[in-house]
Amino acid sequence: MKKLRLLIESRPFCVFDNTPMEKLQAADALEITDMRGSGIDNPDFVDALKNADAVLCGNDLVVDEALLEMAPGLKVIAKQGAGLDTVDIEAATRHGALVFHTPGVNNQAVADHTFAMILALARKITYCDTSLREKRWEHTKILGLEIWQKTLGLIGLGAIGRCVALRAAGFQMKVVAYDPFWPEDFAAEHHIERMQVEDLLRAADIVSIHAPLTPENRGLINSETLALMKPNALLINAARGGIVREADLYQALKNGVIAGAGLDVFEKEPPTDSPLLELDNVVLTPHTAAFTHEAMNLMNVVIVDELLDYVAGRKPAHCVNPQVWEQHRR
């Protein structure tokens, strides 16, 4: 039986625990090329891609029409994480490549990170830390905000948004939300008010984004929508960078249109030239919201299980183009 040639690109794959990798290596049906952290700027990676039957990728590799043409034999795209904005599903389907991913594995990690950023902004934790390290004692000069009983606006009430909403209950916050696929039962049980985006931006003291990057919401947060927010409001984005126009956000933060922002994701990563780096009313983290030992290990386990299901002739749990699976079975 011909082995499935698997090219591993995902930089974070098995960083903390090599057990899932060992599980792949033990599979007789796989021939593995380990090029973690590499990409199409490396000629050796391109050569490996040309011969690959499957690729295990993270957020760095953009799987589009051009890449798929480099890999005529590609049958499988195993994407670590929930986000699929780096994978052109329609192009993959045309090329007969099955796409599956790992939704749900990092829900708790991202929700924790969201509240870490909210609290860091509200209580100016980063500024306080810097002030002390610079030998200043600004004991009575630094005033924070309480988040207790404030209004939290969630743009996106999917799996991660719901985890954030549950945490908000501990702060006795009022939660309002927008989601085109409204979870009626969950919202009713947890007293979450449904709003359109514009009304949510006007009402919320803290706005947190938990939506996928789609053509409809690219640039959703811009100069016009930022102007709807309260001047003491905070904006959190631990979803995808393209949802926020960073140049507009910079002006809003600089000019006091809103009070602060916490960003884990950026339009361009890494954001080495971003003017946001100059501001002290913004908290920035390097796309690490999903990076906990627990979440990363679970992500590795799930993607490996799905790959092994595929080579064993079983349908992977989280296929996003199941019609291709039916083609593979013929």
The catalytically annotated residue of 240, 245, 246, 318 is 240
Q: What b/e sequence results for 46-59 when a residue is b if at least 16 CB atoms lie within 10 Å of its CB, and e otherwise? A: eebbeebbbbbbbb
- Name which of 173, 227, 109, 98 is nearest 89 in CA terms: 98
| Residue 131, H or E segment | helix 125-133
Please say if 287 is a catalytic residue: yes
Per-residue DSSP letter, 150 = P
Per-residue DSSP letter, 87: B
For the sheet with 151-155, list strands across it. Answer: 193-194, 174-178, 151-155, 206-209, 234-237, 260-263, 282-284
Task: Measure the CA–CA gap between 285 and 262, rounded to whole angstroms.
Answer: 8
As a whole number of angstroms, the longest Cα–Cα distance in the chain is: 73
User: Under a CB-based contact definition with an 8 Å cutoff, are residues 189 and 166 in contact?
Assistant: no
Query: Which pair of tokens denotes residue 165?
Result: 């909403």
How deeply is 156 buried, as exposed, middle or buried, from its count of CB atoms within 10 A (0-12, 13-18, 19+)?
Answer: buried
Instruction: Judge whether 184 counts as a catalytic residue.
Output: no
- CB atoms under 10 Å from CB of 263, counted, come to 24
Q: Do the Cβ atoms of 296 and 290 come closer than 8 Å?
A: yes
Q: What is the DSSP string of 272-284?
A: TT-GGGG-SSEEE
189 in catalytic set: no
- Spot the catalytic one: 65, 269, 294, 326: 269
CA–CA dist 48, 163 (Å, integer): 40
* Catalytic positions: 240, 269, 287
